[in-house]
Amino acid sequence: MHFLLVGPGALGCLLGAIVLKGMTGSDRLTVLDHNADRAGRLSRDGIGYHLEDQLVRFPVTAIADPQLADPVDIVLLCVKSYDVLSSLEFCRPLLSERVLVLFMQNGISHLQLQVHLGEAKAAFGTTTEGATLLGTGEVRHAGSGATYLGFLNTPEPQAAVGLQMTRDILSAGGLQVHLTDNILARLWAKLFINVGINALTAILGCTNGELLSLPGIDRRMDAAIDEAMHIAGKKNIPILDEPHHATRQVCLKTAKNISSMLQDVTKKRRTEIDAINGALVVLGKKLGIDTPENSLLSRQIKAMEAGYVR
């Protein structure tokens, strides 16, 4: 099985390290990075996986030109939601009909982008593992969670086998991974958590764990999640875990983690606000549901971005 990792950020490096740890025999992983400097550094230094006080370095081949890759079986697409389209365009030469692309984005705005895959097949994944990028190719595994993988539409047999093998390799690498027949509900279960954690941690500059002890914040967290649940109900999306409880559990399990949105604003990068709270505001307008808390969170993050995003 040949994996192609696209997007060596925090989650990409974490999954890359886990695949490198879990794979056997002829399995291999190549990183594709449009940034040639970073690809060079990854090839030279590998992926550094930090877990508590331990560091394990996994050698990896990284390329900046998709034409240099051998045929791939699975693309682990770990780029930010707003980069999905341009990344698919970049990978286009590799996306034959035998390729399975596993979308690993936060939020829900990437769900309609599978039509841009051409002949390749789409699977979706979501994880509550905590990952913090410490530098190029250096990731801290900052809290354990659960990972769900599945298809939005009935898969062809080869794609189903590809996803099972991906599950097996990620499990062998140490993650708790489940295949699910209802990935849409799982993606929404993760959305509720991101809605409750990401923007608030970015605005307050705190870790996921600190969020629980800041006065008045639980009210904002609950209000944002309530609005998301109202929209899910209207769209007939099953609500799998009690979202308020699940969000607090993730705060506890990834207490030391810096959420991806706080990592983004700290590094003055564009955030995924439009795919998370912003996507709910848009859906709320369509469905006639008020979303004052998600609107406020979106406006606050947009105001922060306006200070640095061009």
The sheet carrying 47-51 orders its strands as 54-58, 47-51, 138-141, 131-135
Rounded Cα gap, residues 144 and 125, in angstroms: 16
9 lies in the binding site for ligand KPL (CB under 6 A): no
Which residue in 177, 191, 250, 273 binds ligand KPL (CB under 6 A)? 250
For tokens 């969000």, the residue is 247
Nearer to ligand KPL, 167 or 190 (CB): 190
CA nearest neighbour of 18 among 148, 145, 170, 131: 170
Rounded Cα gap, residues 107 and 250, in angstroms: 16
Contacting range for ligand KPL; rule: CB under 6 A; set: 23-31, 110-118, 252-260, 298-306: 252-260
Nearer to ligand KPL, 259 or 298 (CB): 259
259 lies in the binding site for ligand KPL (CB under 6 A): yes
CB of 78 to ligand KPL, least distance (A): 12
Contacting range for ligand KPL; rule: CB under 6 A; set: 63-71, 163-171, 191-199, 212-220: 191-199
Q: Is 189 helix (H, G, I), strand (E, B) or coil?
A: helix
- The residue count for binding ligand KPL (CB under 6 A) is 13
Rounded Cα gap, residues 114 and 284, in angstroms: 23
For tokens 């097996």, the residue is 168
In degrees and rounded to multiples of 5, residue 77 shows phi and psi of -90, 100
Rounded Cα gap, residues 191 and 243, in angstroms: 9
The residues in 40-99 that bind ligand KPL, with binding defined as CB under 6 A, are none
Tell me the per-residue interface mask from 114 to 133 with ligand KPL, x by CB under 6 A, - otherwise. Answer: --------------x-x---
The residues in 194-213 that bind ligand KPL, with binding defined as CB under 6 A, are 194, 197-198, 208
- Number of residue whose CB is nearest ligand KPL: 260
CA nearest neighbour of 123 among 159, 96, 90, 161: 159
Cβ atoms 104, 78 nearer than 8 A: yes
Q: Biggest alpha carbon distance in the chain?
A: 54
CB of 42 to ligand KPL, least distance (A): 22
Nearer to ligand KPL, 256 or 286 (CB): 256
Which residue in 30, 87, 105, 106 binds ligand KPL (CB under 6 A)? 106
Which residue in 166, 257, 291, 295 binds ligand KPL (CB under 6 A)? 257
Binding footprint of ligand KPL on the chain (CB under 6 A): 106, 128, 130, 193-194, 197-198, 208, 250, 254, 257, 259-260
